[in-house]
Structure formats: structure tokens, C-alpha cells
Structure 1
Amino acid sequence: MGFADIFVWEMLGTATLILLGVGVVANVNLNKALGFGGGWLLVAFGWGFAVFVGASVADASGGHINPAVTLGQAIAGNTPWDAVPAYWIAQFVGAFIGAVLAWVVYKLQFDAHDKPQDTLGIFSTGPTVDNKLWNTATEVIATYILLIWILLSPGASEGPDGSVFGNAALGYAGVAFLVVAIGASLGGPTGYAINPARDLGPRIAYAVLPIKGKGTPNWQYAWVPIVGPLIGAALAALTYLALPV
């Protein structure tokens, strides 16, 4: 698959992921939205289903929709290194576009929100306790779980009646369940970016969108959800290569 094909599918898939993911957070946090106050589990399930839909859209390119996944697959030998730039550029562009579209959907609710200075968290992640070393460690561990599952997830098996079972039979629903589990269990400290594009693309969108009374993009923290997931993905890939599989 060439640069253009990878770019198109990964951009579309990542834009879909971020549109739905940022959308569910906006629905829960904007006080004029119908989902206001829906809580953390609605966010976790919303992001999980967003991964399912986004990865399904990008199936033709492997459904990475995450630079950390692309890096892990490249280290593991499953994705050519010369294809990585196409994946990464598409993922960051798609994440920006998806965030802008989510803002368009909720524009009136943003305008009516009573605390516009606190809306960065709708777009990007941030720590509940600011300690960048520990925050990075959280992102490393959460992303490690994501990548080691993807790399080690067994294929489908066929039963005597011809039925297919196993993780591969679930398709992208399997990784969606995993993302829900990561959000519910490990997402509390930092908001579980586990995806550099998922955080940086919307953060840039937040910086440039005309949101009335908005706060700062918190660029001082922005490196954590980039570096942490990439380290976690690399460690998972190295683990995979070291295992007798």
C-alpha cells in the first residue's frame, strides 16, 4: 500500500475516532448537552466504541489510528519502517480534523457553557495530580497494555461445527473492549491518552478554535502524552520480540 492510500484510510479512521471520542467527552462535560453529568464510565465506553468505529473505517490500512500502534508494529516487524511517516502524518492530521468537527457539532453548547476556561479536557488529556515523571509512567504502562495485547492477541480458531471463535473473531470489538478496560482501570491519573495523535491533534485544534473564554492549551504538559505512549509501545514490541512466540 502506497503513501496516498495509507494517508487516506488512516486520516479517515483517526478523524472518526477523535470526532466520536471528543464528542462523548463534550456531551458529558458541557452543561447544555443532553449527556451532561454522564460520568467517567460513559466516557470510557464512548472512547472504546470510538476506537471500534475508527479502526473499522481504517481497516484497509490495518486500522492503526495511533502512532504508538504504528511504532509498535514497526518494531515488531509487522509494518515497514518506510510506511511509518505516512501513518503518522495521517493520524495527526485526522486527529486535528476530528477535533474540529466535534467542536462544530457542539459549538452552541461551548458558547453556552458556564466554565469555558475549563474546556481543554474535552479535547486533550491532563493529570489529576501534576507530576510529569509519574504521569509519563502512567501513560507508558497503559500503552504497554494496549500494545502487548494487540501483538500477542491470538487469531481466530474454528470449532468442529465451522464456527469461528477467539479474539480475531471479534474484529476491532476486541481492542475496543480493551480500551474500555484501560480507561476504567488506568485512566484516572492522566485521562489515558495512550495515543500521541489523539492528544496533540485536538490540543492544537483547541489552541486555534474560536472558543469563547477558553483556557490555555497547557503546552507544558503536551509532551507527556506523546513520549509516554511511544515508550510504552516500544517496550511492548521489544517484549513481544523477546518472547518465544
Structure 2
Amino acid sequence: MDKSTLELMPKVIELNNGEQWNDAERNILLDDEWAREVGRESRLPTVRLWRHAPVQGLVVSKRDVAGDQGQLAMESMAKTGWPIIVRPTGGTAVPHGSGVLNLSMLFPRRAEKATTDAFYRLLCQPMIDWLKSMGMNATTGALPGSYCDGNYNVLVDGKKLVGTAQAWRGGLAGTASRHPGYVLAHACIMVDVDLAQATDAINRFYSEVGDPYRVDASTSTTLRHLVRTHGIANEYTAAMAQTDFTQFLKTYYEGQGITVQMAR
């Protein structure tokens, strides 16, 4: 990680695997709740590595469901077994379920100059290095046709493995601020997902909201598929990935002089 990007990392962080498996919506919105605490300085800057609750569905931005047609689409999708959950970050729809591993960085907004690009690099570089440690060549870049496309997709073998999004809220961090600010940078790692079904659900949702946006399943891949094709393992689950990546992150950050406190 380059020096200017690394300077955005807090000197002390909490590494947390906290999950709310009995409530899929709260499990997602926990990011925003904890990020507000980070902004108020009642919680350490937090790196959260967590799995979605075992409920199949789509996570979308507020813009996607704005208006009456959006609300009707939410009702219709729920009836077909693809409930919609609205997230605090932007971007377009992504699948959720127990086969998805999420990386969330919840950091305070500081006075130092920073850009969304810098925070995306801060988010993506550990994933790139983790994949490299397993023998995969990963990079970032846009991939037209992929779900929630952006310049900071993480790509392996020319296909999208990870989607990313970001949200900035409030002003500068600290208890003196009326609305303490935070940065929420988020990544969804597709570990074991039926991409054909998920893509069909995404396209159906956008059709129902009257949006011409469509995605192509062939542009994306899963970590389970990659570890098989690269001869790393025959089986790989989100739980296995969570354990492996947590251990990697602890060593990774400590190697850069950052104090890591593991959540109890």
C-alpha cells in the first residue's frame, strides 16, 4: 500500500466479525450504526468482516427504490423469494445471502485531505494482497455488464469477484461536532453464490422499477470457483473465507505498524 494511502489508516483499529444472523436487515445496517459510533469517537475505527444472514435477497441503494414504482417492485420481489434491503451506500443492486462475505471499513472523517479514490484503495488493497497470497492475480477496474459496476471492482481472471461502494456522512469526527462524520467503505465478496439466479433477480428488479439497467452473469465469478480452478481447494465457504481473511488482515495491518484489537 502506498504511503499516502496508508496515512489514512487509523493507528489503532478494531477487527470485528460481528453478525446479526437472526435479522438480515439489521445485519446490513449495523455498518451504519457502528460507523456513527466511530464518528462520535465512542467506538474505535472498525474493520468489520462479516457474512450476510442466510436469507437470499438483493441489497439496493435508496435511489433504486425511490417512488411508488420502487415500492411496488420491493413487494413483488419479496413474493418471488428475493426480498429487497436498502443499504446506506450508493451503487446498484448486489445479491446477498450466506455465501457472501463483506468487508466494511468504518472510519472517522478527519481534517486531512482525502478522496473517495484513496479510501477505495485502502479498502481494495488488502483484498488484492490476500488473493495474491493464495496464488491469484487480482486487480481493480470497471467491467461493463457486471453487477454494481465501478472503477474499484476487484477482478480475478478478467471477471468480477468483488463489488465496492462508499458513503461519507456528517462533518468532521468528534464529540464537538453536531453531526460527527464518518466514512463507510464497503466490499461484497462473492464466495458461494448462484450468479445466474442472482443476475436474473437483479434484471427482474430493474425491469419492475422501469430502469433499463441490466447485468450479465458471465462477467462475474465466485471465490469458490476460483479456488477450484486454481487448484487451491476443492471446497470453500464464506465461513472458511471469513476465518482465513480475518487472520490475514490481522497480520497485514500489524505488519504496517497498526495496532489491531480483536473484538470479543
Which category of TM-score, normalised to the shorter sequence, fits these structures? under 0.3
1 or 2 for the larger relative contact order (CA 8 Å, sep ≥6)? Answer: 1
**Higher strand proportion (structure 1 or 2):** 2
**Higher helix proportion (structure 1 or 2):** 1
Q: What TM-score, normalized by structure 1, do the two folds share?
A: 0.28
Q: What TM-score, normalized by structure 2, do the two folds share?
A: 0.26
